[in-house]
């Protein structure tokens, strides 16, 4: 039987958002399941695979063993590699990933420029033109001071590589640091043949309007992206930023509370139901491993039953101790 919702989506030609879940499994198993668009392992201990849909993210998880993250669509998936870009597509959805070794590129700024230029060039060959969501994982993101901080160099290179690619609006994004000794910049995205709707947080200054004190090049990202079929909200990396300022310096619990308030503001702005549920996977990036237990405890209490993957990750502002991103399905 065809449900009303599916029927509507068929009529409008908008495909249902990929189903994102965490699961204890091997890449070999999940990659043979029909409809697997992408699968992610976390940490240097996670398995490797040559399949273009598999990405081993350099961030370590505090969950041991860590589950795999799975993106699944209701369609046949094809995949391949085109120069530096690994990709897969199905049902109007596109996954694309690029990894650039900083050493070979000549530093973080040129790695970011090369990576984004490669992604833009690849996107020009595709029908799935609408980039809805991007993830950026960067080694030692806070090394260097002021304008020389690596995150700021990354922002410069990203903007240079993109040119005017996002002139019509930025996708939702995450940019998080890790401590892998190999400095490989990892970037991956989800795109669609159909446009989504960017969502800003009324409690926050839009990132592309951040004042000069946060860097020469404002980060280009939307706070969240409503998916084309309006069946899910992709939530950008969200931290204790109010206005443009970092709030509650040095206070983990207050930062986490402020972050949760920001997440609720995004849901309300997007007309999504309040709160998170058992189908809405989140990630919490925690700067100090010694804070992981406390973050888990608070999130279990505040978001009962919600799948939260706890990651060791550095937020791009040194004073921020925790950041959350993820999905809210309606
Ligand atoms: C913030 O609110 C935190 O540079 O792409 C969050 C999400 C942050 C994405 C990015 C940065 C980015 O400003 C930092």
DSSP string, 163-174: TTTTTT-PPEEE
Percent of the chain predicted with pLDDT > 90: 95
**Burial (0-12, 13-18, 19+ Cβ within 10 Å), 208:** middle
pLDDT in tens, 33-69: 999 999 999 998 899 999 999 999 999 999 988 999 9
Q: Report the distance separating Cα 285 and Cα 325, nearest Å.
A: 8
Residue 293: helix, strand or coil by DSSP? helix
Instruction: Give the residue among 204, 239, 256 at the shortest CA–CA distance from 325.
Output: 239
What pLDDT, on the 0 to 100 scale, is given for residue 44? Answer: 87
Q: Report the distance separating Cα 46 and Cα 28, nearest Å.
A: 12
What pLDDT, on the 0 to 100 scale, is given for residue 11? Answer: 41
What pLDDT, on the 0 to 100 scale, is given for residue 99? Answer: 98
Q: Ligand 1: which atom is nearest the Cα of residue 325? A: 7
> What pTM, to 2 d.p., does this model score?
0.95
With a cut of 70, say whether residue 7 has pLDDT above it.
Answer: no
How far, in Å, is the centroid of ligand 1 from the Cα of 136? 10
Nearest CA to ligand 1 atom 14: 316
Instruction: Give the residue among 232, 235, 276, 281 at the shortest CA–CA distance from 16.
Output: 232
Find the catalytic residue in 60, 69, 258, 323. 323
Task: Assess contact for 221 and 207: CB atoms under 8 A.
Answer: yes
The mean per-residue pLDDT over the stretch 290-297 comes to 98
Q: Report the distance separating Cα 309 and Cα 36, nearest Å.
A: 20
Q: Report the distance separating Cα 234 and Cα 278, nearest Å.
A: 16
Q: Which residues line ligand 1 (CB under 6 A)?
A: 136, 173-175, 207, 219, 221, 236-237, 239, 241, 316
Mutate to test the pocket of ligand 1, among 166, 172, 175 (most ligand atoms within 8 A of CB): 175
Which H/E stretch holds residue 103? helix 102-105
- Neighbour tally for 135: CB within 10 Å: 22
Mutate to test the pocket of ligand 1, among 188, 219, 326 (most ligand atoms within 8 A of CB): 219
- Establish whether 323 is a catalytic residue: yes
Mutate to test the pocket of ligand 1, among 116, 205, 221 (most ligand atoms within 8 A of CB): 221
What pLDDT, on the 0 to 100 scale, is given for residue 12? Answer: 55
Q: Report the distance separating Cα 159 and Cα 300, nearest Å.
A: 38
Q: Ligand 1: which atom is nearest the Cα of residue 204? A: 2
Domains defined for the chain, CATH in brackets: 2-231 (3.30.1330.40)
């Amino acid at each position: 039987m065809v449900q009303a919702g599916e029927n509507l989506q068929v009529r409008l030609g908008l495909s249902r958002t990929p189903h994102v879940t965490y699961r204890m499994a091997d890449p070999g198993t999940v990659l043979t399941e029909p409809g697997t668009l992408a699968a992610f392992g976390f940490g240097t201990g996670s398995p490797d695979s040559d399949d273009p849909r598999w990405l081993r993210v350099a961030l370590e998880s505090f969950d041991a063993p860590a589950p795999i993250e799975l993106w699944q669509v209701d369609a046949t998936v094809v995949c391949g590699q085109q120069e530096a870009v690994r990709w897969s597509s199905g049902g109007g959805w596109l996954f694309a990933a690029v990894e650039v070794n900083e050493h070979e590129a000549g530093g973080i700024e040129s790695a970011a420029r090369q990576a984004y230029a490669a992604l833009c060039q690849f996107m020009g060959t595709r029908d799935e033109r609408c980039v809805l969501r991007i993830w950026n994982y960067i080694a030692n993101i806070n090394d260097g001071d002021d304008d020389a901080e690596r995150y700021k160099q990354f922002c410069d290179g990203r903007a240079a590589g993109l040119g005017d690619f996002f002139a019509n609006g930025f996708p939702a994004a995450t940019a998080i640091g890790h401590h892998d000794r190999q400095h490989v910049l990892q970037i991956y995205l989800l795109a669609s043949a159909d446009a989504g709707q960017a969502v800003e947080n009324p409690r926050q200054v839009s990132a592309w309007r951040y004042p000069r004190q946060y860097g020469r090049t404002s980060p280009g990202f939307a706070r969240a992206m409503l998916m084309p079929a309006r069946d899910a909200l992709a939530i950008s990396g969200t931290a204790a930023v109010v206005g443009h300022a970092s709030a509650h310096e040095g206070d983990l619990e207050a930062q986490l509370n402020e972050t949760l308030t920001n997440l609720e503001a995004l849901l309300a702005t997007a007309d999504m139901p309040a709160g998170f549920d058992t189908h809405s996977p989140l990630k919490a990036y925690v700067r100090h491993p010694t804070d992981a237990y406390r973050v888990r405890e608070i999130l279990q209490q505040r978001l009962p039953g919600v799948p939260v993957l706890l990651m060791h990750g550095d937020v791009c502002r040194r004073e921020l101790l925790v950041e959350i991103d993820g999905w809210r399905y309606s």
